[in-house]
Structures are given as structure tokens and as C-alpha cells.
Amino acid sequence: MPYYDLIVSCDPDVEPQAVEAETGLRCTPLDRGWRLEGELVDRAALHGAIERIFRLGLELLSLERRSSRHAT
């Protein structure tokens, strides 16, 4: 299953738990944003997660696909 690593802008009005609940991805704070990471079953799931990120008012700064969770 593809593993994704996304970096999004940080909005102080949006709680990381809300982002996790909306996207199904683990949220980790960074200096000026959040890292969202996790497995998504297919391209439709990825597009859905990106859509929810935009609906929360966050900006997608980067996106990286990895073949597995352990890839670096």
C-alpha cells in the first residue's frame, strides 16, 4: 500500500486532532507547518485527503509518495 508524506501550512485555528480525524493521516508539528503521513489505499483516497486538507483551509506545501511505511 502506498505511504504518503505531506507537508501542510499550519493554521492556529485548526487543531491537529481535527486534521487527523479528517484525513486519516498522522499529524506531527513542524517549525512552520505540519507533517501528515500514512498509508492511503489508492489515488482516490489521496485525492480525498487533499480535498479535506483544502476544506480545512490548509495549504499543501509538499507531497511525497513512498512505496512503504519504512521507506525514507
Note the helical H segments in 1-72: 16-23, 43-55
* Gap between the Cα atoms of 1 and 8, Å rounded: 22
Question: What's residue 70's pLDDT?
Answer: 55
Domains of the chain: 3-66 (3.30.70.980)
| pLDDT, mean of each 10-residue run, the chain (72 residues) | 92 87 93 92 95 94 82 52
Question: What's residue 71's pLDDT?
Answer: 52
* Gap between the Cα atoms of 22 and 13, Å rounded: 15
Question: What's residue 1's pLDDT?
Answer: 85
Q: Give the DSSP H or E segment for 4.
A: strand 3-9
Question: What's residue 69's pLDDT?
Answer: 57
